[in-house]
């Protein structure tokens, strides 16, 4: 999968792309990240990409021309969606990550300053928000999207099951995890995890996921993701709103 990132601060991405899972995915040609400097498309002699807003107001606004030309240059004759990292979009979640992972190539536009000229939306397909908080720019949001989506690309993780068990993938929070030692300061690993009984381990993990979701994020409990056994167990532990 190819991520084309349009930004005025391409150097911000160097750290995340040179470490851990993303680095290995790039080396194995499972993903590719093209960093495109929007300034390269500015027609201003000083390579400006922002200006004061018409009508007055605080801060600067990213100009339409550099954004428009940068997007069209990357797209050329290829058809790919353009996602703008901005505050007015729908909140990014695992469902959106799965949806994006099905594309072969996308464009991620990083906003900055007080936003973008409204006319730039003419070449944008969708706006994505990280949540109800303010960020300086869209770079960190784009990094989050790249990281989240890349984990869903076949071969990026050692086993596809790795992401299938993670929080939010199946509509529930992930079950607790343990590793060595078996006993740390009197805190022991649950015996079932040491039993070797894979059916009982799977049952325990599912029940713990249900408990955690009920206690921490009950808003995630959706009947379409629950089995009859799940519902029976939730009823046993006191949840009746199903």
Domain enclosing residue 142, as ranges: 2-150
State which of 86, 117, 150 marks the end of a domain: 150
Q: Which residues pair with 110 in a beta bridge?
A: 85
Q: Do 196 and 123 share a structural domain? A: no
Q: Do 124 and 22 share a structural domain? A: yes
Question: What is the rounded average pLDDT of the residues 122-137?
Answer: 95
State which of 150, 182, 198 marks the end of a domain: 150
What is the structure's pLDDT at 113? 85
Q: Do 126 and 90 share a structural domain? A: yes
CATH code of the domain in which 177 resides: 1.10.1270.20
pLDDT of residue 135 exceeding 60, the answer is yes
Q: Do 136 and 85 share a structural domain? A: yes
What is the structure's pLDDT at 114? 87
Q: Do 141 and 27 share a structural domain? A: yes
pLDDT of residue 166 exceeding 80, the answer is no
**Where does the pLDDT of residue 199 fall: very low under 50, low under 70, confident under 90, or very high at 90 and above?**
very high
CA distances from 187 to 178, 183, 215 (A): 11, 6, 22
Residue 109 lies in a domain: yes
Question: What is the rounded average pLDDT of the residues 190-217?
Answer: 96
Residue 159 lies in a domain: no
Sign of CA dihedral 158, 164, 165, 167: positive
Q: Do 91 and 66 share a structural domain? A: yes
- Quote the DSSP letter at residue 112: B
What is the structure's pLDDT at 168? 62
State which of 150, 174, 197 marks the end of a domain: 150
Q: Do 186 and 90 share a structural domain? A: no
What is the structure's pLDDT at 165? 57
Residue 135 marked in a binding site: yes
Q: pTM of the full predicted structure?
A: 0.87
Decide: 145 and 126 in contact? Cβ < 8 Å: no
Residue 134 marked in a binding site: yes
pLDDT of residue 188 exceeding 90, the answer is yes
Q: Do 211 and 116 share a structural domain? A: no
Number of domains in the chain: 2
Q: What is the mean pLDDT of the chain?
A: 93
Structure tokens that stand for 5 in this block: 């990132």
What is the structure's pLDDT at 164? 55
* Distance from C-alpha of 5 to C-alpha of 137, rounded to nearest angstrom: 13
For the segment 26-64, what is each residue's pLDDT rounded down to a tens digit? 999 999 999 999 999 999 999 999 999 999 988 999 999
Residue 130 marked in a binding site: yes
């Amino acid at each position: 999968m190819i991520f084309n990132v349009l930004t005025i601060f391409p150097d911000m991405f160097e750290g995340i792309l040179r470490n851990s899972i993303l680095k290995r995915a790039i080396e194995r040609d499972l993903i590719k990240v093209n960093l495109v400097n929007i300034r390269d498309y500015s027609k201003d002699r000083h390579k400006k990409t922002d200006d004061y807003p018409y009508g007055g107001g605080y801060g600067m606004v990213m100009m339409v021309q550099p954004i428009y030309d940068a997007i069209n240059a990357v797209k050329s004759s290829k058809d790919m969606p353009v996602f703008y990292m901005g505050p007015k979009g729908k909140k990014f979640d695992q469902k959106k990550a799965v949806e994006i992972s099905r594309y072969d190539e996308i464009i991620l536009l990083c906003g900055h300053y007080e936003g973008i000229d409204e006319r730039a939306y003419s070449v944008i397909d969708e706006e994505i928000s990280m949540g109800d908080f303010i960020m300086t720019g869209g770079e960190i949001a784009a990094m989050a999207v790249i990281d989240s989506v890349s984990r869903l690309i076949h071969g990026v993780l050692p086993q596809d099951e790795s992401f299938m068990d993670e929080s939010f993938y199946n509509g529930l929070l992930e079950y607790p995890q343990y590793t060595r030692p078996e006993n740390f300061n009197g805190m022991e690993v649950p015996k079932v995890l040491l039993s070797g009984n894979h059916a009982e381990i799977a049952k325990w993990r599912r029940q713990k996921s249900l408990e955690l979701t009920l206690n921490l994020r009950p808003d995630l409990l959706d009947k379409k993701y629950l089995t009859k056994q799940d519902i029976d167990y939730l009823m046993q532990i006191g949840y009746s709103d199903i």
